[in-house]
Amino acid sequence: GDDLVLTVDGSLQYAVESILAGQVASTGAQGGIAVVSNPETGELLALANVQTDPTTGIVGNTGNDLAVTANYEPGSVNKLITLAGALEEGLVTPETVVQVPSALRVADHTYYDSHPGDLTVTDILAKSSNVGTIKLAQRLGPTKLDEYLRRFGFGRSTGLGLPHEESGDVPDVDDWYGTSIGSIPIGQGISVTAMQMLFAYNVIAN
C-alpha cells in the first residue's frame, strides 16, 4: 500500500524523449541517450533511451536502458577529470601556464594538438587541448590519475539499482601500457556509461 514517488518529471521526460528522437532521426544515428538530473541532489528528472529500427528506420523508445548498459570511450569529456585531479592536488592553478607543443611523443605514440602555444590551465580545458591535458596528467602521475578516475565513480556501479547496469572499465595501473598516461587522460583506453559521466560532471557542477 505504500506510494512509489519518482523524481522523474513527466512533462520534462516527454520533451526529452521527443527532442532526442528527433535528433537521432535527423542525423541518421543508430540510437541516443539523454539524462537530465539535478546536480545538487542527484535526482534524475528525465531519462530517455531511443534506438532506430534497422528494418523500418523508425526511431522509438527502447527497453534497453542504454544510459547504464552501454559502455563507451568518453573521449575529450574525460579531460575534466584529469584537470580536476591536477587542481585538487595543488599541482596547478587555473592561471598556470603550460607550454603546449603541436605534438608530444609518449612511448611509441605521438599525440597531436590543434591549439599549440603557451596555454593556461583554463585555456587547456576551454580549447580541449590534448597535449596540454597529457602534460598535466604526467605531472599528476598514473597512480593519482587512476585514483581520481575511481573517486569520480568510474569502474564501479552507480548504486542506482537499475537492471543490467555496466560498471565500465578502468584498467589497473599495473596493467597500463606505456601510452596509457597519454591516452587515458584524454578519454581513450577506458570505458564508462553515460550515467557515470553525468554523475562525474554533477560533482563539478555542484
What residues are labeled active site?
76
For every residue of the chain, DSSP letters joined together read ------S--HHHHHHHHHHHHHHHHHHT-SEEEEEEE-TTT--EEEEEEEEE-TTT--EEE-SS-HHHH--B--GGGGHHHHHHHHHHTTS--TT-EEEE-SEEEETTEEEE-SS-EEEEHHHHHHTT-HHHHHHHHHHH-HHHHHHHHHHTTTTS--S---TT----B---GGG--TTHHHHGGGT-S-BB-HHHHHHHHHHHH-
Task: Please tell me the distance from the alpha carbon of residue 166 to that of residue 102, in angstroms, as a whole number.
Answer: 37
3-state SS class at 151: helix
